Structure formats: structure tokens, C-alpha cells
Amino acid sequence: MNTKQSILSTAKSTIEIESKAIENLSELLNDEFAEAVELIYNSKGRVIITGIGKSAIIATKIVATLNSTGTPAVFMHAADAIHGDLGLILEDDVVICISKSGNTPEIKVLVPLIKNAKNKMIAITGNKDSYLGQQADFVLNAYVEQEACPNNLAPTTSTTAQLVLGDALAVCLLELRGFSSRDFAKYHPGGSLGKRLYLRVNDLSSQNLKPQVGLNATIKEVIVEITEKMLGVTAVVENNTIVGIITDGDLRRMLSKSDNIANLTAKDIMSNNPRRIAEDAMAVDAKELMEAHEISQLLVEQDGKYAGVVHLHDLIKEGIL
């Protein structure tokens, strides 16, 4: 077997081992998982998630997922907790301890302190009979048969199992809370995902100039308007109502067909019934409309009146496309 084949074989084996372990997790779920979700959902406090080593790294990801989906969460490193950070835990907080073995020295020191404070504790562990498993109020079984590591030592499959259980917790809580796309946008205002959910057409078109000409505008006036407004298009407007559109492509086609353009006006070369969109529509709707009709601009309307132009470049700039 050559080197490339060997690498691919190892990669496939890793994926297969981990995927089988994840599939087995669903068989390990029981009422304790549901009760743990209900505990968090009904809690007046936050979720404090702690762990050591690789489990601590998984804990930070679960914290991030919970926070972004409506469940306030805080990471607390197990080693730091017993050196002062235990003060992070407030009276109504629920604590989740993550540990593959459930028997690490830091966990054995930390668990009694949490219990003494009367906080409810959820364990995510691969050993439900461990010290952590025995002391926790609820145990989420993250047992895996083997690590993907050929020496069965480096945390690989076990941390994947922990991560998946954390995602399952977050999604269950999300559904219980009725967490909507609008809620998601509120927590992700700076990212492209959030922008897809809150950015409206007017947020983009209002930043552009507003090209427009009348029906009887000369070709020179049309060219000047398209050039000055720098959007490659102008609306043809009558009584502030859109009656047509002229693009720079229309101008090129006109020049290729006509030898005498001196007497032509906007109404002679415009396209009737142009694609348009309401200014309060979502920007992502503008994207889909442009893609569906293979166009680069949409005319924008407000209460049936011409309000501006939204351009494909606006969507690209905001990360919508």
C-alpha cells in the first residue's frame, strides 16, 4: 500500500469508528437525558460547564452553542475552579461536568464542592459507574468502545461523543424555548448567517444613488444617468411609478441594432415590467430573485412608488451571497 492509500485508509477508519460510536449514543439515551434538559429549561440560573484537558475544550464549544441558541452558559475550567473560579457558580446555576473517566483528581476535588453548594449537577461521562457518575444528579452516558487513536489513548471518539451530546442538549433546549430564526439573528448580528435573517432590501438600497429618467428622456440623458449613478441601470419613471428599466446591456444592444439614435428616447429602448422588490423584503429574498432570473439589479418599491435600486454587489459586500 502506498503512502496516499495508507493515509486515506487511516482517515476512513477514524471516521467509521467515530460514526459508529455516535450512532450508539442514541441507544444509550434514557429518561435522565430528558430530565436533565427539563432541569436546565426550568432553571432560573445559567449553565456552568466544566472539564479538564480535552473535555475542557469540548466544554467551551458547548457553552458557545448554548449561548447562541438562547441558553445562558459559562465555561469554568475544573483546575481553575478549585483555585478561586468556583465563585462563578451562583445559587440557581446548573453545573455540567464533562469527563471521560469521571475519576480525574480535579473532578474528585471539584464535585464535593458543587454538591455542598446544593447546585444540581449533570455528568457527561463515558463511565457512569465512576466517581462523577455516582455523585451527579443526572448522568448522560458518553461511553465509547474505543478511541480512533490506534493506541486507544488520545481522546478522539470520546470527545466527539461529548460534543454530540452537548449539541443534542442545545437543540432540545432550542426547541423547548421556541427559539426562532429571528432569535438567532439577534444573537448573530455581525455574521453573514445573521444578516440573512435580519438585513432588509432598504438597508442596502438606501446606501445607493437613485437613478431615474422619464419616458421622453434622450439617449444621452439615459447614458449620463446610468454613468453618474454607477449601478449599471436606471429606472424609467412616470409620476414616481416604475414603468420600465434600462440597463447598460440595453444600451449596447441598441447601439448594435441602430445606426441613428438621435431621435430615440427612453421609452423606445426600455424593458417593460421590470423585476422589482419591496423595500421591506429580506435581502436574502432579493438574492434569490436575482439568481432565479439571472440579473444583477432589482428596482425597489415603497407602497408602489419607486424607491431605488439594490445591486448584486450590495449582497456580495454584506456576505449574503
pLDDT 10s digits, 103-147: 999 999 999 999 999 999 999 999 999 999 999 999 999 999 999
For 206, other C-beta atoms within 10 Å of its C-beta total 14
CA dihedral 265, 268, 273, 275 (to 10 degrees): -70
pTM score:
0.68
Taking all residues of the chain, what is their mean pLDDT, rounded to a whole number? Answer: 91
User: What's the average model confidence in pLDDT over 276-305?
Assistant: 93
Q: How confident is the model at residue 312, as a pLDDT?
A: 92
Q: How confident is the model at residue 132, as a pLDDT?
A: 96
Q: How confident is the model at residue 198, as a pLDDT?
A: 75
Per DSSP, 130 falls in state: S
Q: How confident is the model at residue 189, as a pLDDT?
A: 59
Q: How confident is the model at residue 197, as a pLDDT?
A: 66
User: What's the average model confidence in pLDDT over 76-100?
Assistant: 92
Q: Are the C-beta atoms of residues 8 and 150 closer than 8 Å to each other?
A: no
Share of the chain above pLDDT 70, in %: 94
Please tell me if the domain spanning 3-179 has the same topology as the one spanning 198-317: no
Reading the block at residue 192, the C-alpha cell is 453573514
- Report the C-alpha gap between 51 and 220 in whole angstroms: 71
Which of 5-19, 196-210, 264-278 has the lowest average pLDDT?
A: 196-210
Q: What residue segments make up the domains of the chain, in order of their start?
A: 3-179, 198-317
Q: Are the C-beta atoms of residues 318 and 195 closer than 8 Å to each other?
A: yes
Q: Would you give the end-to-end CA distance of the chain in angstroms? A: 43
User: What's the average model confidence in pLDDT over 259-283?
Assistant: 89
Q: How confident is the model at residue 318, as a pLDDT?
A: 84
Backbone angles phi, psi at 39, to 5 degrees: -60, -50
- Examine the pLDDT at 192 and tell me if it is beyond 60: no
- Report the C-alpha gap between 209 and 211 in whole angstroms: 6
Classified by CATH at the fold level, domain 3-179 comes out as Rossmann fold (3.40.50)
User: What's the average model confidence in pLDDT over 167-189?
Assistant: 81
Indicate the pLDDT class of residue 40, thresholds 50, 70 and 90.
very high
Three-class secondary structure of residue 136 per DSSP: coil
- Report the C-alpha gap between 140 and 279 in whole angstroms: 49
Pairing verdict, β 233-238 and 212-213: parallel
- Examine the pLDDT at 256 and tell me if it is beyond 90: no
Q: Are the C-beta atoms of residues 48 and 74 closer than 8 Å to each other?
A: yes
Q: How confident is the model at residue 188, as a pLDDT?
A: 61
Q: Which of 76, 109, 71 is nearest to 95 (CA)?
A: 76
Q: How confident is the model at residue 317, as a pLDDT?
A: 87
Three-class secondary structure of residue 144 per DSSP: coil
Q: Are the C-beta atoms of residues 178 and 289 closer than 8 Å to each other?
A: no
Classified by CATH at the fold level, domain 198-317 comes out as CBS-domain (3.10.580)
Indicate the pLDDT class of residue 62, thresholds 50, 70 and 90.
very high
Which of 108-117, 131-140, 256-265, 288-297 has the lowest average pLDDT?
A: 256-265
Which residue type occupies 255?
A: L
Q: In terms of DSSP H, where are the helices of 78-212? A: 78-81, 105-116, 131-135, 157-177, 181-187, 192-198, 201-205
Per DSSP, 86 falls in state: G
Which of 29-33, 176-180, 214-218 has the lowest average pLDDT?
A: 176-180
What interhelical angle do 157-177 and 54-68 show, nearest 10?
20
Indicate the pLDDT class of residue 1, thresholds 50, 70 and 90.
low
Q: How confident is the model at residue 193, as a pLDDT?
A: 61
- Report the C-alpha gap between 118 and 120 in whole angstroms: 6
Share of the chain above pLDDT 90, in %: 78
pLDDT 10s digits, 195-252: 666 789 999 999 999 999 999 999 999 999 999 999 999 999 999 999 999 999 889 8
